[in-house]
Amino acid sequence: RSTKEDSLKFINDMKDLYAQYPESEKVYSYLCDALILSNDEAAVVEIGKNHLAKYPDSVLPHIYSAFLLQNQKKYQEAIDQWNKVPESQPNYVQFAYYRAVCKYNIAVEFNEANSDARTGRLTPENETKFKELLKDAQVDFEKCQQLDPEQGTVKWKYLLHNIYTQLGLEEKAAALD
């Protein structure tokens, strides 16, 4: 069983290793993972900024930032980070999925915040906005469907079905059943 001292020693060892090999994405990733496990998200953000200053083409700082922001329910900020992950990135479907989930959550939060407390309904204007938000998420879920039709990497079908149903796209929803 590891102690707090063991964890701090590991983090310091990773910092030393990162200082020796700052270009190593693997070392960067180990350091960020260790910091996240020790609940030092601010350090992850700071290291990410410094890493991007030296290596502007690095994708990992955007990925880590996006995960942290998504966990904090800062969905639009997370989307901004997910948008910086190129489609050429290995396992891109995962990042498209996370971005889609953020967009879906924005739509759900909009619906919850703007529904009439008594009836649960949206005004026609807000209904239009809600559907626009769902359509935005739909694009990314359909990208996931295209990249991972058998759902071997991400489980996109349920939320895409839900979006189709909420948008009244019954044929598309039925095709997923």
Task: Dump pLDDT digits (tens) for 142-165.
Answer: 999 999 999 999 999 999 999 999
How large is the average pLDDT for residues 46-50? 96
Task: Indicate the pLDDT class of residue 63, thresholds 50, 70 and 90.
Answer: very high
Contact 122, 138 (CB under 8 A): no
Cβ-Cβ contacts under 8 Å for 85 (sequence gap 6 or more): 59, 62, 63, 66, 92, 95
Q: What is the reported pTM? A: 0.90
Q: Of 98, 108, 94, which is closest to residue 77 (Cα–Cα)?
A: 98
